[in-house]
Copies of this chain bind each other. A is one copy, B any other.
């Protein structure tokens, strides 16, 4: 009987597929060459011959997926909005949608492989931090009200947390955070945003 034996691009595809499945279900920390080989129905040496590390395999598997379903290069969205706001909504919607291919697999991976207990502890910790962040902003807003710059402190929490979340992201991505970034954040983002909601001449 003719024992079929995959090779080349064929095999590569099977490996990438298997890799993504593991990433989605167990996360990056659980991605091992042995598991990939098993799931792709091949053997360890094959994987070791072709790829350096589980991490680089993960990157390639995700890039492969992105290439494959070109489902929404973000800059190819057809813009049909009748206003800036409408167009922006289209773009951000498409962005979150296509994050399923890239971001979800890719970013969540980092946090998978953390036990249930640990995850709970982490959540609790983040909740504590969030409360502190909110307090800090509230005090700033109250002072602004006293000064007459704002008419109230009633902002959605998401808005109040925006600066911290943005800065945390930049830290994570190792983007620079200096006085230039902070000024931009305050003068061009936060103040206009707050004034838009709570400005005196609304």
| CB contact list, A136-181 vs B, under 8 A | 136-137, 139-140, 143-144, 147, 149-150, 156, 158-159, 162-174, 177, 181
Q: Count residues of A near B (Cβ-Cβ below 8 Å).
A: 87
Contacting B at CB under 8 A, from A17-35, are 29
Is residue A38 contacting chain B, with contact meaning CB distance below 8 A?
no
List of B residues within 8 angstroms of A59 by Cβ = 118, 121-122, 125
Q: How many copies does the complex hold?
A: 2
A68 within 8 A of B: no
For residue A129, CB closer than 8 A to chain B, the reply is yes
Choose from B122, B129, B189 the contact partner of A162 (Cβ within 8 Å): B189
- Distance from A37 Cβ to chain B, minimum over Cβ atoms (Å): 20
Q: Is A71 an interface residue (CB 8 A)?
A: no
Residue among A29, A73, A77, A110 with max Cβ neighbours from chain B (10 Å): A110
- CB of A196 closer than 8 Å to a CB of B: yes
Chain A residues packing against B (C-beta within 8 Å): 29, 52-53, 55-56, 59, 63, 73-75, 77, 79, 81, 83-85, 87-89, 91-93, 95-96, 99, 102-104, 107-108, 110-111, 114-115, 117-118, 121-122, 125-126, 129, 132-133, 135-137, 139-140, 143-144, 147, 149-150, 156, 158-159, 162-174, 177, 181-197
Can you list 21 residue pairs at the A/B interface with Cβ under 8 Å?
A52-B117, A53-B115, A56-B117, A75-B132, A79-B140, A84-B194, A85-B190, A87-B143, A88-B140, A88-B190, A88-B191, A89-B186, A92-B185, A92-B186, A95-B164, A107-B172, A158-B184, A159-B188, A159-B189, A188-B193, A192-B195
